Amino acid sequence: AQSVTQLGSHVSVSEGALVLLRCNYSSSVPPYLFWYVQYPNQGLQLLLKYTSAATLVKGINGFEAEFKKSETSFHLTKPSAHMSDAAEYFCAVNTGRRALTFGSGTRLQVQP
């Protein structure tokens, strides 16, 4: 069984500030972890993925995430927020060919 918990349904930052979106997972086998972004009325776009090759993963748009097995976490960060980063972010886990299990999402607001 697997699950994902995203702490904070809403996060608000100022433009240029650090973005930190939290994700904790639970999995009985080594997981694959993903962050997706969803802009209003659009589908999901893959930001980055963890596949056990490296614990620090860099993705698109300046985002990165660090896999910490001891903390069962996969938090998403970006050093400097941009207005265009405002969206809904989803953390997800799977264990291979199986369906993704999603967290409940975090809405990121970026204030000018």
Partner 1 sequence: GEEVAQTPKHLVRGEGQKAKLYCAPIKGHSYVFWYQQVLKNEFKFLISFQNENVFDETGMPKERFSAKCLPNSPCSLEIQATKLEDSAVYFCASSQPGQESYEQYFGPGTRLTVT
54 contributes a contact to partner 1 by CB under 8 A: no
According to the binding rule CB under 8 A, does residue 96 interact with partner 1? yes
Least separation in angstroms between CB 49 and partner 1: 5
For position 44 contacting partner 1 by CB under 8 A, the verdict is yes
H helix and E strand count, the chain = 0, 12
Read off the tokens for 55. Answer: 């614990």
Least Å distance, CB 37 to partner 1, is 11
The residues that touch partner 1, with contacts defined as CB under 8 A, are 9, 32, 34, 36, 42-46, 49-51, 53, 88, 90, 94, 96-102, 104-105
